[in-house]
Structure formats: structure tokens, C-alpha cells
Amino acid sequence: MPVLMVFLGGMVGAPVRFLVDRAVQRRHDGVFPWGTFVINTTGSFVLGALGAAAVHHGLGADLSLLLGTGVCGGFTTFSTFSYETVRLMEDGSLAEAGLNAVGSLALGLAAAALGFALLTWV
């Protein structure tokens, strides 16, 4: 059953990632990968909230696997973030590469902490 939960969640998260990335990126010119930046920050917030729901509100293991590992795992993308950062460096966009690397890490951690804090408080 756990593998099925992860599989089903990933089936939702991955296509949503693709659609959100395209929608966000279409609205921004330039080389910065706004789609991936928004996706990973949003996914970090949701995963933080799910963590708090599991710890403080009794979110079950199967639902945690479905939503956390499956949906959030399919939605967020470390490999694309890494590739886009390397691509920015290779293209000579060093400021954008640095902003992507540092900004993604800082905002991702802050978003996860905020999601956890909000669901702990509720």
C-alpha cells in the first residue's frame, strides 16, 4: 500500500509541476528559472505543513505518503533546480545562478518552517 500511495501522489504532482512551471515561466522574461523557484518554494511550504499535520494533528501514514512523498515529491524538483543553476553559470549569468542557489535554499527553508509553524498553531 505505501508504494501505491507514493505512485498515485507522484502521478498528480509531476504533471502539476509541469503546468505550473509553464504558467509561471510564460509570465517572466529573462534567464531566471522562476517556475522552478516558485514550485520548490511552494512545495517546501506544503511539505512543512504536512509535517506539522502529521506530528500535531494525526495525519495518517498513508495520507502522509500520498501527499508528502508522492504529490510533493513529484511536484518539487531538486534535479531541475541543479540543472538550471549550472545552465545559468555556463551562460555567464553568475548573479542569477547565485540568486537561484542561495534564494532557493533560503526561501525553501523559510517556507517549510512557515508551513510547519502555521499548521502547528492551527
In this prediction, residue 119 has a pLDDT band, given cuts at 50, 70 and 90, of: very high
pLDDT at 114: 98
Summarize pLDDT for 61-102 with one digit per residue, the tens. 999 999 999 999 999 999 999 999 999 999 999 999 999 999
pLDDT at 80: 96
pLDDT at 42: 98
Q: Which residues contact 4 (CB under 8 A, 6 or more apart)?
A: none
In this prediction, residue 24 has a pLDDT band, given cuts at 50, 70 and 90, of: very high
User: Domain-by-domain residue ranges, the chain?
Assistant: 2-121
Q: What is the mean pLDDT of the segment spanning 39-51? A: 98
pLDDT at 112: 98
- pTM across the whole model: 0.94
